[in-house]
Structure 1
Amino acid sequence: MLSAAISFALTAGGVAVAGLRAYRRRFLSATRWFAVALLPAGLYLTGLFPLARTIADEFVDWVTGLVFDPKVWIGIVLLGVSAALLLTTRWLGRRGAVEPAPERPAAAGPAPERPAVAAAPPKPKKRAAGKRDDGLGGFEDIEELLRKRGI
């Protein structure tokens, strides 16, 4: 009975605030206040207040167990270690600090060693005689058009 009185009082107060907002021509705000004002009455009429109380009681029991139970603290430490390991491996993977695992040989015998081959540096392109190298290669046609127009 008390929850009904509180629910409908909250709804009436919210509707009053929504009415004041509408009177001041702030219709968007008034609509929001009206929507929020309908929640307590709707929760009471659907019977969700006892459910909310049960959820609140269970939450309080869980928090009490969290504070006073060492088993829970060990679980929290394990979750923290797991999160730290996952974040560290992700960070190292992005930096490229971890090399991929070497390939395993298909045969049971030892794998033959391959000589290390250094990659040859790219050879610079030969430029035509009389042309300047300003890093804008491939723009000759645009350059020609600009010259024709006198730009």
Structure 2
Amino acid sequence: MIAETVCSAVSAAGLGIAVVTAYRKRFLAAARIAAYSLIPIGLVMTGAVGWVADTAFSPTAWAGFGVLGAAWALFATTRAVERHRGGGRKQQRKEARSAEREAVAPTASAPSLGPGTRPAARPATTPRKGSADDFSDIEAILKKHGI
């Protein structure tokens, strides 16, 4: 009952401020203030204020909030410990991925650490009669670079 009265008073005061703002020729701001001031009376009319007031003064509701807080604290604590230890699902996934990579091709993606060797040079082919002029300069450049 008290919450409904307070909400009605807040709405009435907001509508009064909206009227004064409209009198000062600031109609857009007045309309916005009026919209905000109608929200509390709308909540009273829908019954939401009564539900919130009943919840706020209910020891059972506060015990429920306490239980939810304890559950959240347990989740947060276990997550922090899991991160601190470096374990958890992410660690298990990482180990599974590395095991898959090693099982499929352990040296396929490993970089070569030995001395570099050049591939064997291919024997030069004799150019065809019609294309000898077209690619002779390109072949010279490629031979110069050992390709």
| TM-score, normalising length: structure 2 | 0.47
* Rg larger in structure: 2
| TM-score, normalising length: structure 1 | 0.46
- Bigger RCO (CA 8 Å, 6+ sep): 2
Q: Relative to total residues, which structure has the larger helix share, 1 or 2?
A: 2
